[in-house]
């Protein structure tokens, strides 16, 4: 299989992960946005933009309907759910003669479900069932990927793209919610929405307890918990495993070294304890180094 096709696989995974994050953000923050005052929602929207790494202005006023449209459907926002799924589908099209049919069908179904929805549906709770259904299709597709690994090892490239993108997204949101980055203290309901966006609220509720939850404890858990398969340390370990398997066919020594270095850095920080100052720096470093690994992987495929 050519390097160009592998690159298409890799980008498909990254775009799907971007779509999943933005969809889940809309689903999780919807209830809070309906209840919050205009001032509180405006502050929340600034954190969401930073977490989604949206650097253009977006909606000037933090009105719920306009922000939901911007994150879900806006064609001028390349990171919107619709644009991300469109890009994933365009990359997957090139792989039609190779990509397992169930994966293509679920991706196609998720895209058309979202693209056939009118903007008028993006108001208040009327868009909640739509978001939930699209998320479910993506999660089923992820389960199929895991099942199909035994038949097609090249699908590991999908997981590498997914995992590194996920790590970068975690880091961006935890950086956005860092106490030093915010003049206001996010209310409990917004904090819940933030944790729900990454499927970790119920987990943390069991492991730590919501009444004892602090930014530092949450940051430490998401960085380094070996008990949570989607902690940053666990995800980087999975990336290293995938790269180790694929290194038998591809010259990916540099991204392997960079991933090992990032893994070691996160592990060292966790051992030393996650203070507020350290966590801010490590989450910023993770974003930068994930971008470096992305670039190295793409260069190795060229």
For residue 23, give the nearest of 169, 223, 202 by alpha carbon.
169
Tell me the mean pLDDT in the region 40-45.
92
Distance CA 38, CA 280 (A): 28
> How does DSSP classify residue 153?
G
The percentage of residues in the chain with a pLDDT greater than 70, rounded to a whole number, is: 93
Total of domains in the chain? 1
Kindly report the pTM of this predicted structure. 0.92
Domain that holds residue 282: 3-301
Q: What is the pLDDT of residues 243-286, one digit of tens each?
A: 999 898 888 999 999 999 999 999 988 888 777 778 889 999 99
pLDDT for position 237: 95
Q: What are the angstrom distances between the C-alpha of 32 and each of 47, 48, 68, 205, 283?
A: 14, 13, 13, 19, 25
pLDDT-derived band at 15 (thresholds 50, 70, 90) equals very high
Q: Is the pLDDT of residue 68 over 90?
A: no
pLDDT for position 59: 64
Q: Is the pLDDT of residue 13 over 60?
A: yes
- Which residues lie below 8 Å from residue 257, measured CB to CB, with a gap of 6+? none
Distance CA 9, CA 88 (A): 9
Query: Cα–chain-centroid distance for residue 265?
Result: 21
Tell me the mean pLDDT in the region 24-48.
91
Asked if residues 24 and 135 have their Cβ atoms less than 8 Å apart, the reply is yes
Q: Is the pLDDT of residue 118 over 90?
A: no
Burial of 289 (0-12, 13-18, 19+ CB in 10 A): buried
């Amino acid at each position: 299989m050519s390097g160009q096709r592998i690159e298409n696989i890799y980008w498909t995974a990254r775009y799907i992960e971007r779509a999943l994050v933005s969809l889940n953000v809309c689903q999780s923050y919807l209830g809070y946005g309906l209840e919050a005052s205009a001032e509180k929602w405006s502050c929340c929207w600034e954190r969401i933009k930073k977490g989604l790494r949206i650097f253009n202005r977006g909606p000037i006023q933090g009105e719920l309907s306009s922000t939901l449209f911007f994150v879900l459907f806006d064609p001028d926002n390349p990171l919107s759910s619709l644009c991300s799924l469109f890009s994933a589908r365009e990359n997957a099209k090139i792989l039609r003669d190779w990509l397992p049919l169930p994966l293509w069908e679920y991706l196609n179904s998720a895209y058309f479900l979202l693209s056939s929805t009118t903007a008028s549906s993006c108001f208040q709770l009327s868009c909640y069932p739509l978001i939930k259904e699209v998320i479910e299709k993506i999660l089923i597709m992820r389960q199929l990927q895991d099942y199909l690994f035994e038949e097609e090892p090249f699908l590991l490239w999908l997981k590498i793209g997914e995992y590194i993108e996920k790590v970068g997204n975690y880091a961006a949101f935890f950086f956005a919610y860092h106490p030093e980055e915010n003049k206001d203290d996010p209310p409990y309901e917004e904090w819940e929405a933030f944790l729900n966006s990454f499927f970790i609220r119920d987990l943390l509720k069991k492991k730590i307890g919501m009444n004892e939850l602090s930014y530092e404890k949450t940051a430490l858990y998401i960085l380094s918990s070996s008990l949570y398969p989607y902690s940053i340390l666990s995800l980087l370990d999975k990336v290293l495993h995938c790269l180790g398997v694929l290194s038998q066919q591809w010259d990916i020594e540099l991204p392997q070294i960079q991933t090992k270095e990032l893994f070691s850095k996160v592990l060292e920080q966790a051992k030393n304890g996650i203070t507020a100052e350290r966590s801010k720096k490590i989450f910023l470093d993770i974003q930068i180094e994930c971008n470096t690994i992305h670039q190295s992987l793409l260069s190795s495929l060229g």
